[in-house]
Structure 1
Amino acid sequence: MEQLNLFQAVLESYQANAGRLTNEQLYREVALRANLDDTAMNSLVPIGKSGTPRNVIKRKLRWWQQSAKQAGILRHVPGQRGVWELTEKAGKDLHKILPQYSVLAFSTKLGLAILGSCDSVFSRLDIPISLIVSSPPFPLANPRNYGNVSEKEFVDWITRALEPVIKRLVPGASVCLEISPNIYMPRSPARSMYCERLLLALHDRLGLELMDRLVWENTSAPPSPVQWASKRRVQLTATYSFVFWLSNDAQRVKSDNRRVLQPHTERHARLIEGGGERRTGSFAGGAYRIRPGSFGNETAGTIPRNIIRLSHNCADQNTYKRRMRDMGLPPHTAPMPLALPKFLIELLTEKEDVVADPFFGSGTTGRAAESLSRRWVGTEIAVESIRGASTRFEDAEGFEQHMLM
């Protein structure tokens, strides 16, 4: 069997049985999920120089257990012979690798996906990073299945997690964090000010300079917050997230807006065709002036504004979610649309630069980097999440699944 199919069958078997199985139970579950008959599960073939009869499939499963044990994914239940269980829970339906462990989950010609915590991995991974694009878990009052820290803990937690990654940045590198401003104080329509505290901490503790607070307007966001907008009617519908863009050296920042120019509007195209403005005008106390011929030069496109309008209803994400449901795995519940990291990567990097995502999730940043011929590296603590992310790279050049080797 292919390693991916074996891993999927094993993982699903443990998930369906509260994370714990005897070896015999595992053999039966895998046979059922991989459509293996009794002959395949019980046939013996000679192994090694001695030619000792062994069952190849059961042997592979035991090898997987030992590899998973070394990676911190699986552990033997003390005092119970032949009983194994998944390790720490990351949240509902998710299991996370133990903090001291990390393992290469899968790779492509351009990228590496590592099962492990970002602070542990990047403190040992010596690689020059030009851009971090990530959507870390928000400090929600009701945690999602991947787990969340509290609003009070968030700033300390994320600065500790990011510090080893920041140390790997090349001069002029950028950091882009998708951060929700829609976090409310307990039983109150007042918003948390953790966003403001976070920006100050990123500057004061990690030495980053603020380039911009980009706004991602989610054009298909449902009405929220339900309690304060739809029921109590004291808030407006929240439709945007911030993308905090920072750099470790603003004077040498690698951004270039010519890489992301947008097509001219029809009106602007007509203006260029007609030779520009025909009027004279002065606005904002003389700060802006219009003269005949203004805006008449031929250009490659329009400089984008710092409000990015994108629907979260992304075709690529929808395909990923269908695949997860078909596999019986929980899809990531808060993924970015693919177009968002693609825009940021084009703006802030050149080909061959390395893009990092310390909270890899469903792998959207890596997939965007792959499509733009950028190198990439991502870390993720949840076993199921990185398994699901791997399905988005199976058609990438040089794809290999390593978790069972």
Structure 2
Amino acid sequence: MKSKRAMPTQQQFVLPLLDCLENVGGSARTGDLYDALALKMGVSDEMRSETFVSGDCTYNRFEHTCRWAQQKAKALGLVAPTGRAVWELTGQGKESLHRATPGLVITIFETAQGIALYGRAEEAVAHIDDRSVRLIFTSPPYPLLRAKEYGNRAAHEYVDWLLRIAELWPKKLTQDGSVVINLGDVMNRGEPSFSTYQERLIIRLEDELGWKLCQRYAWHNPAKMPSPAEWVTVRRVRVKTSIEPLYWFAPNDMPYGDNRQVLVPYSESMRATLAAGGQSGANRPSGHQMNNGAFAADNGGAIPGNLLSLSNTASNDGYQRHCRENGFKVHPARFPAGLPEHFIKMTTVKGDTVWDPFSGSFQTGRVAESLERNWIGTELNLDYFPGALGRFPDATVHQAALLERLRQPETMLV
């Protein structure tokens, strides 16, 4: 028997309410707004007639939910009453149809294993259960000299900003949970020297928050473009930067890890050694004495190093095809699937939960789901959610009509 559809939550009504107001020119009477909301949210006549009793009064459930959404939007400065039963969309309300406003966290879509939240990372954290996350894997917007549309900050502000957000994370992690952060190098303005913001961040995470640094990694992208162009290809006083650092932290106790889950194929020489029954006894130049039969055990693969060599050149993967074919914006700062895959395998087991506070195209969530982990993704730019849906064909979408309006001309997709 088909289950009866539930009324959308009060919070889920806020964005559609703003969208309805924009679609009718920015203002509407309350009754007309309710009709438009019912149509946009797929609320049936039966659901519109539902009532509930509170105290001595009987209320219409749908209209009560709409009124709550109005008042929430008003409190956030997104709408304003302009006359008797007339509501108007504010400038901030229009902006919220593209970029999350403080105080508003909304579920855009979900799967059997994950949930995609529209909101700011520092506020979405309140919607995550304490001690429920085994791994936070994320690549915050890099601090850049020029502002990008996906929300980067200047280098001199970056450490304080990220520290304020990160201090909320340990409570959400299991006691043996991990945080892995991918950060990019940033040059100082006007000269071929680099900011030391990463080092300052690491020191403050330890000194002020008590985090421990478990390991440094480097992501080597052999196909990375020669940049910064001014110093690499124009003046030619520097070589191109082809690695990006990742830092594995323990915010609580020492985290779970198992390098047997990330073994790599043996080299030809190691396979030959195994076939020969191990190495012959010898003294190494370092003074280490090698016993006969050393390295004779086949453990299924070699322990990898902390250099992850992964090209990031995909131009026609499923995500980008979905965006192009449907007119959705492509997130410009994506990492290859192999990056989150390594750390998810290394620091979690099946059934654990992975959270990416700065999800972008939701690559982390897609990889987590493919590895049978649960996931949570947070993103503050609504324009990137329609494209992200291409990674989750079986997702349940809560704001389908709202996402559909974000289709863009082909020339504006990237």
**What range is the shorter-chain TM-score in?**
0.7 to 0.9
8 Å CA contact 2:365–2:375 kept in 1: the answer is: yes
**How many Å separate the matches in 2 of 1:243 and 1:88?**
37
Task: Note if 1:146 corresponds to 2:142.
Answer: no
Partner of residue 264 from structure 1, selected from 256, 263, 266: 266
Partner of 1:55: none
Task: Note if 1:247 corresponds to 2:246.
Answer: no
Q: CA deviation at 1:385?
A: 1.7
Alignment of 1:38-117 (within 5 A): 75-76=78-79, 79=82, 84=89, 87=92, 95-117=98-120
AA aligned opposite 1:401: V
Partner of residue 209 from structure 2, selected from 195, 206, 210: 206
Q: Which moved more, 1:267-276 or 1:79-88?
A: 79-88
User: Residues 387 and 258 (structure 1 numbering): CA distance in 2 closer, same or farther, change over 3 Å?
Assistant: same
Partner of 2:295: 295
TM-score by length of 1: 0.77
Q: CA deviation at 1:97?
A: 1.6
**How many Å separate the matches in 2 of 1:228 and 1:69?**
53
Q: CA deviation at 1:404?
A: 6.3
**How many Å separate the matches in 2 of 1:145 and 1:65?**
33
Q: CA deviation at 1:236?
A: 1.1
Deviations 1:38-86 (A, max 9, x none): xxx9xxxx957999xxxxxxxxxxx999969957999447759786477
**How many Å separate the matches in 2 of 1:147 and 1:320?**
21
**How many Å separate the matches in 2 of 1:124 and 1:404?**
22
8 Å CA contact 1:68–1:74 kept in 2: the answer is: no
Partner of 1:341: 340
Aligned to 2:377, what secondary structure does the other structure show?
Answer: strand
Partner of 2:24: 23
Partner of 2:377: 378
Paired residue total: 354
Partner of 1:280: 282
**How many Å separate the matches in 2 of 1:96 and 1:49?**
30
Aligned to 1:172, what secondary structure does the other structure show?
Answer: strand
8 Å CA contact 1:87–1:95 kept in 2: the answer is: no
8 Å CA contact 2:353–2:375 kept in 1: the answer is: yes
Deviations 1:102-132 (A, max 9, x none): 1111111111111111211213432411100
Aligned to 2:168, what secondary structure does the other structure show?
Answer: helix
Aligned to 1:153, what secondary structure does the other structure show?
Answer: helix
**How many Å separate the matches in 1 of 2:25 and 2:94?**
24
Partner of residue 171 from structure 1, selected from 153, 169, 175: 175
Alignment of 1:130-145 (within 5 A): 130-145=134-149
8 Å CA contact 1:329–1:388 kept in 2: the answer is: yes
Please tell me the root mean square deviation across aligned C-alpha atoms, in Å.
Answer: 3.6
TM-score by length of 2: 0.76
User: Residues 135 and 263 (structure 1 numbering): CA distance in 2 closer, same or farther, change over 3 Å?
Assistant: same
8 Å CA contact 1:75–1:84 kept in 2: the answer is: yes
AA aligned opposite 1:302: A
Q: Which runs of 5+ in 1 are unaligned?
A: 1-6, 27-40, 52-62
Partner of residue 227 from structure 2, selected from 224, 229, 232: 224
8 Å CA contact 1:324–1:331 kept in 2: the answer is: yes
User: Residues 392 and 66 (structure 1 numbering): CA distance in 2 closer, same or farther, change over 3 Å?
Assistant: farther
Aligned to 1:283, what secondary structure does the other structure show?
Answer: coil
AA aligned opposite 1:306: N
User: Residues 374 and 47 (structure 1 numbering): CA distance in 2 closer, same or farther, change over 3 Å?
Assistant: closer
**How many Å separate the matches in 2 of 1:137 and 1:78?**
36
**How many Å separate the matches in 1 of 2:73 and 2:350?**
32
Partner of 2:363: 364
AA aligned opposite 1:375: N
Deviations 1:266-294 (A, max 9, x none): 2210111011223512233x2x3323322
8 Å CA contact 1:139–1:149 kept in 2: the answer is: yes
Query: How much identity, in percent, do the aligned residues show?
Result: 31
**How many Å separate the matches in 2 of 1:175 and 1:390?**
25
Aligned to 2:178, what secondary structure does the other structure show?
Answer: strand
Q: Which moved more, 1:76-85 or 1:361-370?
A: 76-85
Aligned to 1:301, what secondary structure does the other structure show?
Answer: coil
AA aligned opposite 1:23: V
